[in-house]
Chain A
């Protein structure tokens, strides 16, 4: 997959995951990697960008005597997921067209 496109898709995956409940770096990688290839090092810039764009906010919670950073989805992030889903139908039609024409 093209890098830019993959970054966009990864952002959406992270946001989708966070809709269920806030999560932290290590768990996000584990939860998403069955569906899309992601590493700790690719996740960082994505989380940073989502945070900078107010799509997620962060808070710290104590765990085993240290602080763990949690990411929580914000209204802007939810809007992004909604937008992605609303475009999915359009994309499906385009894929179908491309597929048909490629037969």
Chain B
């Protein structure tokens, strides 16, 4: 691929951006190539080293979305709504609690108030199975570790309409996951490395709940294939009815 072919292809891949933003990227790469050639680099090889236009564009497009969303003032709660019918929900979060609640109708929605260091991206992809992905990351996590302790009030709320019977996969590190009143989900995977997982009045085909250091508390769980993993406390009072509940790595007392 020569310079012009590369830049043209890149511009095509960047179509979702406005003209100004697209122009910036093209100018950047054009300048890079000119400077490289002046320094005796091989045009062809240099262009190869940039990576595929599709991959370059994907990275820039992802970035531009999160920049736009991060710019929203953090004072008010933000709502991220799935624009299409969704079959699968993916929540990928760090250091932040997740509350999952049923709503009578409407689309799949995420309510979340980003703090200063949060970066958020959402995407809807796939055909025929549509994935709705909500991703939250903490920028500079390692340099602002003290903020982890002041994030108690900070949480992500996921609204799932009653008509949703698809799959849910949610992970948060170091924070709790709670869900109640959810019915008829097909597959559910919940993972939190250090947080508590609590589920009540919960019905699903397959459940896989995993936390390495948190408690798992379950009230009224209905499911045909449920796996719960924790090294801490597993507490299942009342009328739990999971036929194949496996307890692995359960050190603490367990009531069934």
- Chain A residues packing against B (C-beta within 8 Å): 4-5, 7-8, 24-27, 39-41, 44-45, 47-49, 52, 64, 66, 68-69, 83-84, 87, 91, 94
Contacts and interface: CB of A to CB of B under 8 A. Distances in A.
A25 B35 contact: yes
B63 A40 contact: no
A57 B137 CA distance: 26
Given A25-B28, A69-B28, A39 B67 contact: no
Contact of A66 (B25, B34, B55): B34
B50 A41 contact: yes
Given A24-B35, A66-B31, A91-B143, 4 more contacts: A39-B51, A69-B27, A69-B28, A83-B143
Nearest to B66: A49
Q: Chain A at the B interface: mostly helix, strand, loop or mixed?
A: helix
Contact of A5 (B27, B56, B142): B142
Nearest to B144: A87
A25 B32 contact: yes
Contacts of B138: 4
A70 to B, nearest CB: 10
A48 B137 contact: no
Given A5-B141, A8-B143, A39-B49, A45 B59 contact: yes
B31 A84 contact: no
Contacts of A41: 50-51, 55-56, 59
Nearest to B146: A90
Q: Chain B at the A interface: mostly helix, strand, loop or mixed?
A: helix
Interface in B45-89: 49-51, 55-56, 59-60, 63, 67
A49 B67 contact: yes
Contact of B38 (A48, A64, A69, A87): A64
Contacts of B63: 45, 48-49
A91 B55 CA distance: 34
A68 B67 contact: no
B150 to A, nearest CB: 16
Contact of A40 (B24, B32, B60, B140): B32
Given A40-B50, A41-B56, A26 B139 contact: no
A86 to B, nearest CB: 10
A24 B39 CA distance: 14
B49 to A, nearest CB: 7
4 nearest A-B residue pairs (beta carbon): A26-B35, A45-B63, A8-B140, A87-B143
A44 B141 contact: no
A69 B31 contact: yes
A27 B31 CA distance: 11
